[in-house]
């Protein structure tokens, strides 16, 4: 779904999906999958870096802040190619690990794209401000669409649950653990 199809989401579009221009820039950015990584950082959890050398289980990395660090191989995680930056469903990552998830959520949040999928789950990062993603035109834009036909949003999850309920398919909410109540529609 490119920029033209996103017009139906109105003012909410830039808060839901990357623009065509941003997607093209990400796909053409120079990237070396063997060198680009995340490394543990005591101040900001993980930082991006580029592998300079490997010696046994030790890896020397130059971070995005120009600092050179040596870390254990287990503390160095490969970056996903730039086409995955701000990805809508993190289950699609080439490398699915903690720094990739945190980076994706941070990047989407910085662009005010607060909804992301992680497989079957919708992840939301509270923006602590009102965004134009909840008006009636956005509700209408999600109505009747499959989850894969529109950007991540709570409206997509709720409309899909409603459509399944109308079709007679069972929907369960809750967990059988600890005697939680299971609600079936």
In tens digits, what is the pLDDT along the chain, a chain of 185 residues?
788 889 999 999 999 999 999 999 999 999 999 999 999 998 889 999 999 999 999 999 999 999 999 999 999 999 999 999 999 999 999 999 999 999 999 999 999 999 999 998 999 999 999 999 999 999 999 999 998 899 999 999 999 888 888 887 665 555 555 555 444 44
Q: Where in the chain is the domain with CATH 3.40.850.10?
A: 3-24+83-167
Tokens of 37: 């990584």
CATH number assigned to the domain with residue range 36-78, chosen from the 4 options 3.30.1490.20, 3.40.30.10, 2.30.30.360, 3.30.565.10: 2.30.30.360
**What pLDDT score was predicted for residue 19?**
94
Q: Where in the chain is the domain with CATH 2.30.30.360?
A: 36-78
- DSSP 8-class letter at 17: S
CATH fold group of domain 3-24+83-167: Kinesin (3.40.850)
Torsion of CA 120, 86, 29, 79, to 10 degrees: -60
**What pLDDT score was predicted for residue 130?**
93
**What pLDDT score was predicted for residue 178?**
52
Provide the whole-model pTM. Answer: 0.84
d(CA 66, CA 51): 12
d(CA 62, CA 52): 7
Q: Hey, which residues does 123 pair with through a beta bridge?
A: 116
Helix (H, G, I), strand (E, B) or coil at 160: helix
């Amino acid at each position: 779904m490119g920029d033209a199809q996103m017009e139906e989401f109105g003012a909410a579009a830039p808060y839901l999906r990357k623009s065509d221009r941003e997607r093209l820039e990400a796909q053409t950015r120079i990237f070396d999958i063997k060198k680009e990584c995340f490394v543990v950082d005591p101040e900001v959890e993980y930082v991006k870096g580029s592998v300079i050398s490997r010696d046994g289980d030790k890896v020397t990395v130059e971070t995005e802040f120009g600092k050179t660090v040596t870390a254990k191989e287990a503390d160095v995680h490969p970056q996903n190619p730039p086409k995955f930056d701000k990805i809508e469903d993190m289950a699609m990552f080439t490398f699915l690990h903690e720094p990739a998830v945190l980076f994706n959520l941070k990047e989407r949040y910085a662009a005010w794209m607060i909804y992301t999928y992680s497989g079957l789950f919708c992840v939301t990062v509270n923006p602590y401000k009102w965004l134009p993603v909840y008006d009636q035109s956005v509700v209408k834009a999600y109505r009747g669409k499959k989850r894969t036909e529109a950007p991540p949003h709570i409206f997509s999850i709720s409309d899909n649950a409603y459509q399944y309920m109308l079709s007679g398919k069972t929907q369960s909410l809750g967990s059988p653990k600890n005697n939680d109540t299971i609600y079936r529609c």
